Amino acid sequence: MQLSARTRWASRTQFFASGFIFATWGVHIPTVKAQYAISEAELGLAMLAAGVGALLGLTQASRWIGRYGARTTARSCGAIYALLLAGLLVMPGYTALLGVLAAFGVVTSVFDVAINTEAAELELRNGRPLMSGMHGMFSLGGMAGAVTGSAVLAAGMAPQLHLTLVASAMASAIVFAAQRMLPREVTAFAVNNEGFRLPRGALVILGVLAALGLIAEGAIYDWSVLYLKQELGSPQQQAALAYASFSAAMAATRFCGDAMRARLAPAVLLRGSALLAAASMTLVLLTEAPRLALVGFAGVGVGFANVVPILFAASARVPGIEPARGIAAVSAAAYLGFMAGPPVIGFLAEASSLTAALYVVVVFAIGLAASARWADPA
């Protein structure tokens, strides 16, 4: 079935908005830390609250999508996800911040499942790969959000005004784009009411690898800005470019990811990508020059860009497992890893230093390279 361009662009818009919102949160992590006068461990706990909220959302996502459809779920959860940005700096205290971030995690995970369900349906109907491009739009949104955040901070805009403007714009974009999503009654994917399910059997290994990749990726998203500001002494507007360089490189790589996967064996591509990520992150942590660190963050983005597409594709080829079930199981493990990474880094940073804690990214990237053969389980 041929899809209209408006339907495809509606989905791309949702992914772009998700990345933009997430980047805006990443840019203002130092602002939140200063606003509430909290330590790295307390900041890590705040991120863990978002992770716990995301886990709760994952347990309910399939039920909500099954009951209301991907379009309605994406519209409501996406709008709330955007609007919660405006509340990050105006909570009466740290405990209230934890509550807001927990809610942030719930709607983030459900919105993510809804738009990925829509993207998978579009790919099925289109008859050719679309998913890498959709995730490229997330990375592009992340780059745009980080660059915008850097620009407004350099211009002296008040952080609260920036968050409010982004919240309003992204909520409007999500609601508008949702009107062009597929109606619930024509969705071919059966969404069950069993809720969250952990991977089993051969999928466990792929799930662990996906979690390793996303723990490392999540660490970059949430800690790269603070790293440049705190460890290398960069002004916040320059530090925000850490997220931008990482997201821009990841977006560019994802947009050509399908062509790369067509030319290289999965294990070869995963091994090379992971080793590039490890080498680039080592450069970031060893250099004292912020500009060279930005180059390193870009290299990390290139390295991690294809990890999720490779492992998701592998999960669809596990013998005896339906492709949709394999992708869903590995996706759940990957998402848990993505949410677990930031608080793990926070606690390690409190015990040692942020620089030492971020070596977790190097270790996990090397682990991915060493386990690359599992990228072709058939």
Q: What is the pLDDT of residues 256-284, one digit of tens each?
A: 877 887 788 889 999 999 999 999 999 99
- 358 within domain boundaries: yes
pLDDT tens-place string over residues 59-114: 777 778 878 888 999 999 999 999 999 999 999 999 999 999 999 999 998 898 78
Radius of gyration (Cα) for the chain, nearest Å?
19
Q: Is 331 left (phi over 0), alpha (psi -120 to 50) or beta?
A: alpha
Q: Which residues lie below 8 Å from residue 12, measured CB to CB, with a gap of 6+? A: 133, 134, 137
241 and 161 in a single domain? The answer is no
> What does pTM read for this prediction?
0.75
The answer to whether residues 166 and 207 belong to one domain is no
Structural domain including 19 reads: 1-183
Q: Indicate the residue among 161, 183, 205 that finishes a domain.
A: 183
Are 31 and 104 contained in the same domain?
Answer: yes
Question: Considering 156, 183, 210, which residue would you say is the last residue of a domain?
Answer: 183
- 8 Å CB contact between 339 and 218: yes
Give Cα 252 to chain centroid, integer Å.
16
* Residue 163 pLDDT greater than 90, yes or no: yes
Overall number of domains in the chain: 2
- The residue among 310, 284, 276, 317 whose CA lies nearest residue 135 is 310
